[in-house]
A and B are shown apart, each in its own frame.
Chain A
Amino acid sequence: MTGAESVSAELTVEHEHGLHLRPAAEFVRLAARFTSRVEVVNLTRGGGRRADARSLLQVTALGVNAGHVVRLTATGDDAPAALDALTALIRSGFVTEA
């Protein structure tokens, strides 16, 4: 991997159910559209545990509730696009188009 770009963002999850099952599934499906690796950390709770955005079980185990702050870090060729898409999904309240 030469020149793999890494970008990150911190944002608050406003969705009333946080990153629970259904919203987390939307998040994972969107992350899978990109080749970059995306890590998720719950900065509010979770002791620095990192979740692979492609793993629903890892993402749900972060215990992200409404109002928690998460950090997303994307690394790879399409990292900026992946980060934009995933942060937009969280900010939208997990409303997705087909």
Chain B
Amino acid sequence: MGGVSVGLVLVSHSARLADGLRELIEQVAQGRVPIAVAAGAAEDSLGTNALAIQEAVESLAGGDGVVVLLDLGSAVLSAETALEELAPALRDRVRMADAPFVEGAVAAAVESSLGSDLEAVLAAAQSARGQEKLA
């Protein structure tokens, strides 16, 4: 592994949900994937916070790009607000994944752990959309 990897930001209305997903994907990322969480609103209430999302993305600015995963569609507005606040050079290396939260994050973590680039990690996350669970 030469350089750094594509980072993942987990955006959730619930801190416990995001922390649980982080625990899960660390099982497959093997310490090779930078992960940041932006979850919950003020005073431990449920919700999303644009500033927290912005800071989470910025904390991974040293990597090869950032893929943002959202738990629900109602997180999109906060995430878009956060991305608008980023410096343009960083903003160009951030992608929001249109993907299920758990499967998308797991697939993205494995892809990033391979050293794949930003578009490949985004594609892996979004490939989860059509994945059936039951045989």
Contacts and interface: CB of A to CB of B under 8 A. Distances in A.
Indicate the size class of the contact surface on chain B: 10 to 19
A57 B107 contact: yes
Q: Secondary structure of the B side of the interface?
A: helix
Contacts of A62: 135
Interface string B92-125: 0000000000010011001001100000000000
Contacts of A56: 28, 106-107, 110
A63 B135 CA distance: 8
Categorize the interface residue count of chain A: 10 to 19
A25 B127 contact: no
Nearest to A58: B131
Contacts of A45: 135
A56 B27 CA distance: 13
Contact of B135 (A28, A32, A49, A55): A49
Contacts of A55: 107, 127, 131
A28 B133 CA distance: 18
A57 B131 contact: yes
Contacts of A57: 103, 106-107, 127-128, 131
B132 interface: yes
14 contacts: A21-B28, A22-B27, A25-B27, A25-B28, A25-B110, A29-B113, A32-B114, A45-B135, A56-B28, A56-B106, A56-B107, A57-B107, A57-B131, A61-B133
Interface of B: 24, 27-28, 30, 103, 106-107, 110, 113-114, 127-128, 131-135
